[in-house]
Amino acid sequence: MSNKIIFATTNEGKMKEIRMILADLGMEILSLKDLNINVDIEEDGKTFEENAIIKAKAICELTGEMVLADDSGLEVDYMDKAPGVYSARYLGEDTPYSVKNQTIIDNLKDAKGEERSARFVCAIAAAFPDGRVLTTEATIEGYIGYEEKGTNGFGYDPLLYVPEYDMTTGQMDSAMKNKISHRGKALELMKEKLGYENINC
């Protein structure tokens, strides 16, 4: 019986959210950084789901353990759903998100109302040593703001305005964001698929 879950990421901001969302499982959630695993996985999938599966299977094969992985990003309709699966690599992986966010704002300078529609997408994959793979996917819909707002979260969070809550995801506190976010919803769906018995096997 394992009391840990390996999550295939080194992103500390993402891990903070994941640990909060999965806290009710009462299990240790370990990142690749925690395990001193430093591998370069080529995420060459065409969809978020494909990339999540690639990461989960690669680390599962490496560790012999059940592994969860996610792939997530921002789809901006006015930009033909870019940056999409390239969200982390948009304008270069080392480019600050303040620059990435401002570039998107600039790209939408002539967009009004519904033309500014966008969403965060998150796909979660669970890979098992026996070759089984489970996936879930969820979104949070909104609009690209005219300026960055909020200092919570990370990445594109200050950019996506969610009208139902009259704020960006960067203005939401952690508890609120984790409840309604793309990652929060996708992880909750995965918890349902796995069930407590399976997740402990």
Peptide bond connecting 163 to the previous residue in cis, omega within 30 degrees of 0: no
Q: Over its length of 201 residues, how does the chain's per-residue pLDDT go in tens digits?
A: 468 899 999 988 889 989 999 998 888 999 999 999 999 899 999 999 999 999 999 999 999 999 999 999 999 999 999 999 999 999 998 999 999 999 999 999 999 999 999 999 999 999 999 999 999 999 999 999 999 999 998 999 999 999 999 999 999 998 899 889 999 999 999 999 988 444 443
pTM of model > 0.85: yes
Domains and CATH numbers, the chain: 4-199 (3.90.950.10)
DSSP alpha helix (H) spans, the chain: 12-21, 48-63, 97-107, 174-180, 182-199
Rounded Cα distance between 149 and 5, Å, is 33
Bridge partner list, 83: 75
Rounded Cα distance between 116 and 133, Å, is 35
Which amino acids are annotated catalytic? 71
Longest CA–CA separation in the chain, Å: 56
Q: What is the pLDDT of residue 26?
A: 85
Q: What is the pLDDT of residue 201?
A: 37
How many of the other CB atoms lie within 10 Å of CB of 124?
Answer: 31
Q: What is the pLDDT of residue 195?
A: 81
